[in-house]
Amino acid sequence: MHFITSNFNNLHSNRGWDLLKNKYNVILDEDYNSFYIKLNNRTILNTYDSFHIFIYLDVNNIDKNIKLLKELKKKIFLEKKIFCIYIFKYNDNNLINNKNIIKKISNFIAELNLHKKNLYLKSYLELKHNFFNERNKSYLKFPFDISALKKFSAIVRNNLRIINSKPYKLIILDCDNTLWGGILDEDKAEGISYGNDEGGVVFKEFQNILKKLKKEGFLLSISSKNNEKSVWAAMKHKKMILQKKDFLNPKINWDEKYINIKKTLSELSLRPSDSIFIDDNILEIEKVKKFIKGINCLHINKKINIKKNITDDPRFQKLIILEEDIKKYKQYKIKFKYEKLKKNNKNNSIFFKKLKQKIKIFNCNKSNFERAQQLFAKTNQFNFSLNRYGGLKLKKIINDLNYDVKLFDLNDKFGSHGIIGAYIIKKKSNTIEIIDFILSCRVFNRYVEDYIIWHICKTYKARKILINYLSTDLNNKLIPKFLKNKYFVLKNKINNIYTYQVILNKKLNEIKNIFNNQN
């Protein structure tokens, strides 16, 4: 559910909101200038998943509203929810020419922007003059023309599309006529189009967009039919925004692109549906679609506005940018080093001891709550229950003494992988029931999943340990393989719900020796 409020009147009084009400379960505040009161209400804060606050500023109300927003900020920054604040400045000369007022607004906007990575979105908008209405402001305390509500609705609708969409994890790119104009093999580095000239500016802008997406946690890779050394040399020669270091596991050779993409997805343990391939060649696009079911593709050419395509696709956008997102590129680099080392080591036990893996298990709390929500929302392949916990439901479970909610991270000789999993157990008198167990697929098959099961058995050794598994198309590849271990015994099956008992046998007990933890 989503809540919309404002510092003016009659925000709710138009049918233009009906689509949002029906599709996104939106509630509109019907009280006049009540944003501060409503967002100080604990019941309201607990009920909704996102909050959209419309603030109108003019010379008469600016000091009061910025003061209220600053007071509110101290409180809502502690909430692990999405707050979208839309600030509208009236375009009259008194406001525009008042340097002190402009400075106040700019400073406040900058302050909001600092917290954008902490679940807050700022929109600072200047509407066209005809959107404002002095008569409505005087008689209705609604400072806009009624047509402005259509724009307000569109702004919220766009952000709700982003909130309700799962961002791409991986963007795979062609090179020729995609990252630059022309054919590198024919035109050479000197002849391709890139830069500030008329033909190259569009490619420079596109690379700038991609660089920003990378900083937000999107992964970039390449699948292109070129000579690899020539590609990196051309990027250096043209001083492109993107360079070799920006791409994960690039495949630049003369193999079929879909073969290269399959390899990259396998190396990164990503699903096709979490990836998008961008190419100017429609035949290559069709081949990739044919051989990789579920992958997303974007066909571009000179007639297509690539910036608009990316802006219009909510999966290229994030309102929430967590620390985990920013670290993701580095973590996948670590994974690649791990895979390379493993390939050269035939003896598993010696290899894992050399790896110096260490797992830390800790409670879910305010500092890691967003990451917990993200894991439950996005993890599919190794997710026993596929429960999608909203903030309210997860908080309720955390506060229930009958449950334990734990997160865990992983470190090895290459560095930190961050928080990579979670589990929820329900405590009964003689039984421990593992109702949720999730793990990032980028660390699967490193015995992390086994260690967590061992840890639970050790912690609750006097009780019977059960684990539930809901089998679906999303999670029926990795988990069944894991459950073939002899420390799982099937006890019950109803339709596609399986219940296993965990037996602390010799094999499970030896898992602790693989890790550097003090057990």
- Domains with residue ranges and CATH for the chain: 2-163 (3.40.50), 170-316 (3.40.50.1000), 355-514 (3.40.630.30)
Regions of the chain where pLDDT drops below 70: 77-80, 90-102, 105, 108-130, 302-303, 346-347, 518-519
d(CA 184, CA 203): 14
Residue 115: per-residue pLDDT: 47
d(CA 205, CA 200): 9
Residue 87: per-residue pLDDT: 82
Global confidence as pTM: 0.70
Order of strands across the sheet that contains 464-470: 358-363, 403-412, 415-427, 431-439, 464-470, 497-502, 488-494
**Digit-coded pLDDT (tens) for 368-421:** 888 898 899 888 889 999 998 877 788 899 999 999 999 999 998 888 888 999
**Digit-coded pLDDT (tens) for 418-438:** 899 999 999 988 999 999 999
Residue 416: per-residue pLDDT: 87
Residue 233's φ and ψ, nearest 5 degrees, are -65, -40
Percent with pLDDT over 90 in the chain: 45
Task: For CA atoms 358, 362, 368, 373, give the dihedral sign.
Answer: positive
> What is the largest distance, in Å, between two alpha-carbon atoms of the chain?
81
Within 77-119, residue ranges assigned H as helices are 93-96, 99-114
Residue 494: Cβ within 10 Å count: 7
**Digit-coded pLDDT (tens) for 472-483:** 998 998 999 999
Residue 118: per-residue pLDDT: 41
**Digit-coded pLDDT (tens) for 237-264:** 999 999 999 999 999 999 999 999 999 9
Contact 424, 401 (CB under 8 A): no
Residues in Cβ contact with 385 at an 8 Å cutoff, skipping those fewer than 6 apart: 435, 436, 437, 468, 469, 470
